[in-house]
Amino acid sequence: MTNHLKLALPQLAPKWLSRDEGLAQVIETIEAASKETADLIVFSESFLPGYPFWLDGTGGANFDNDRQKAIFAHYSDQAVTIEDGHLDAVCAALKAADMACYLGLIERPRNRTGHSLYCSYVYIDKTGTVQSIHRKLQPTYEERLVWSPGDGHGLVTHALGDFTVGGLNCWENWMPLARAALYGQGEDLHVMGWPGSDRNTRDLTPVLAKEGRSYCVSVSAIMRPSDVRDDTPFAEEIRASLSEMPANGGSCVAAPDGSWVLEPLIGETGLRYCELDPAFVRRERQNFDPAGHYSRPDVTQLTVDRRRQTTTVFRD
């Protein structure tokens, strides 16, 4: 007999660029999932306080531009500083629900001056304890205008019931060595956080499930011009620059053989659930285990530097 894991998969429209309302939304969603006795809930990339959708249409690359500075300053103000206690209420809600969580957020850490922003994926366990903060290794394309490159400190996995779970942000999931770093730690439940598009999730999710012989979860958000808040700097210009739906979701779950557990949800919000069976992983690992019996560490090995990077080291 094996213990199944119940997954809660929310596809939501974030409370865009409002940390406090976003935190309330996260807690409300956790409480809803607790009524279904979920073991793990996963949120999309940059869910708090939202993805920088303004960059494409408002001249995000214009240098020393007052408009871009004003929007960035607002974005920074709404970011999450974990050491300031911004996640305390979320941690308490998870502890009360006996539920673990992957939460995508824009982090403004004090140990990197307190002003630079990182796209981070945070794992909180069932006791409400933050166990890892993975800062996105390489922001993608225009994201580099607002997000800083992370480091390997968060390339870790976590035991959750009979599973070993790990997570990556968006296009990090295209990086073979980042995936290999998690495979090598026994990952058999892989979480992928996305800002929201089925063009990313529909193809890659089942492919990575088959590659890792693991369950693969993609969680995305919805974004519409109407989600731009009036208190956002240059709100009308941002709304006018956006397409009808710049993020259409696509959240889904694939089994270790690449078959769908939950097919991509397109163009609408919802909170879906599924049960994951660890015995399915063992069946598929019989013929292929990427970091186990099908690996050749005598020929190829991966070295991962998991030190948290900093510009200053003090010896007092």
Does residue 49 have a cis peptide bond before it, meaning omega lies within 30 degrees of 0? yes
The three-class DSSP label of residue 285 is: helix
Strands of the chain (E only): list them: 5-11, 40-42, 100-107, 118-124, 130-135, 158-160, 163-169, 189-193, 215-219, 222-223, 247-254, 260-266, 270-276
CATH of domain 5-285: 3.60.110.10
- Residue given tokens 């290794």 in the structure block: 137
Residue 215 CB neighbour total at 10 angstroms:
26
Is residue 9 helix, strand or coil? strand
Walk along the chain (316 residues) and give the pLDDT tens digit of each residue.
459 999 999 999 999 999 999 999 999 999 999 999 999 999 999 999 999 999 999 999 999 999 999 999 999 999 999 999 999 999 999 999 999 999 999 999 998 999 999 999 999 999 999 999 999 999 999 999 999 999 999 999 999 999 999 999 999 999 999 999 999 999 999 999 999 999 999 999 999 999 999 999 999 999 999 999 999 999 999 999 999 999 999 999 999 999 999 999 999 999 999 999 999 999 999 999 999 999 999 999 999 999 999 888 899 9
Give the rounded distance of the alpha carbon of 243 from its chain centre. Answer: 23
* Rounded CA separation 121/173 (Å): 13
CA distance 125 to 105: 16
Could you tell me the two tokens for 182?
């998690």
Residue tagged 């590659």 (tokens) = 211
Q: 135 in helix, strand or coil? A: strand
Strand partners for 249: 266
Q: What is the pLDDT of residue 5?
A: 98
Q: How many of the other CB atoms lie within 10 Å of CB of 182?
A: 24
Report pLDDT for 2: 59
Burial of 8 per CB tally in 10 Å (0-12, 13-18, 19+): buried
Enter the tokens of residue 137: 């290794």
